[in-house]
Amino acid sequence: MENEPLIDDALKTELSALYAAGDRHYHGLAHIEAMLALASDYRGEFGDPEAVEAAIWFHDAIYDSRAKDNEARSADLAEEKLEGRVDAERLKRIGAMILATAAHQLPPFDDAAAARDASLFLDMDLSILGAAPDAFDAYERAVRREYDWVEEPMWRAGRRAVLKTFLARPHLFHTQEFRQRFEPQARLNIARSLEALTVDRG
């Protein structure tokens, strides 16, 4: 158990197949790879880098834009696939990080290192908000395609509500590193998106 990686090549192949589904325009393998690249940048900051990597791989493994329980089902899948590879406490931490992506609120970890890992993990997941304008716009279009079953007025109202919730937070990101690196651009991107969503097309 100690010597084999949490996410071995067989598991990567299995999860990659889920992320390659045709209805995933943003929540696909490119999103996972972008998060893994950021995790590599901050690897020295993690208390448990492998647990963070596992949370990255599993956090969107189950994704249905019509469902409300994707995070819970993804956490369940992680528990099922990682059982026997990892001790119960570590598995619980991985599951809590995955569940936290539903509302992007930190899990109530007592352990400072675990809380720090979760903070960085959640910030990596939202880093697209602070991407360059072209990349952010591509992300917005991709998410819209994932919700192509939602009629435009309903989409605009729902998306505005989500973005306003983010803007109302004192900070979009939990860690100082990500606030410095992504927050100013993220606020500009979100404000621009809200403006576009508010313009009447009719």
pLDDT tens column, 106-152: 999 999 999 999 999 999 999 999 999 999 999 999 999 999 999 99
Instruction: Specify if 185 maps to a domain.
Output: yes
- The CB density around residue 13, as the number of other CB atoms within 10 Å, is 9
Q: What is the mean pLDDT of the chain?
A: 95
Q: What is the torsional sign of CA 28, 33, 36, 38?
A: negative
Please check the confidence at residue 94 and state whether its pLDDT lies above 70: yes
CATH of the domain at 63: 1.10.1300.10
Instruction: Specify if 1 maps to a domain.
Output: no
Q: How far apart are CA 155 and CA 160, in angstroms?
A: 8
Tokens of 41: 């940048």
Instruction: Specify if 3 maps to a domain.
Output: no
- The residue whose two tokens read 């072209």 is 134
Q: Who contacts 91 (Cβ-Cβ below 8 Å, separation ≥6)?
A: 78, 79, 82, 83
Burial of 173 (0-12, 13-18, 19+ CB in 10 A): buried
Residue pLDDT, tens place only, 32-45: 999 999 999 999 99
Taking residues 184-190, what's their average pLDDT?
Answer: 98
Beta partners for residue 26, in sequence order: none
Instruction: Specify if 148 maps to a domain.
Output: yes
- Confidence class of residue 1 from pLDDT cuts 50, 70 and 90? very low
pTM of the shown model: 0.94
Q: What domain range includes position 19?
A: 9-198
Structural domains in the chain (count):
1
Longest Cα–Cα distance in the chain:
60
- Confidence class of residue 4 from pLDDT cuts 50, 70 and 90? confident
Instruction: Specify if 150 maps to a domain.
Output: yes
Please check the confidence at residue 202 and state whether its pLDDT lies above 90: no
Instruction: Specify if 27 maps to a domain.
Output: yes
pLDDT value of position 102:
95
The answer to whether 55 and 98 are in contact (CB under 8 A) is yes
- Confidence class of residue 3 from pLDDT cuts 50, 70 and 90? low
pLDDT value of position 201:
56
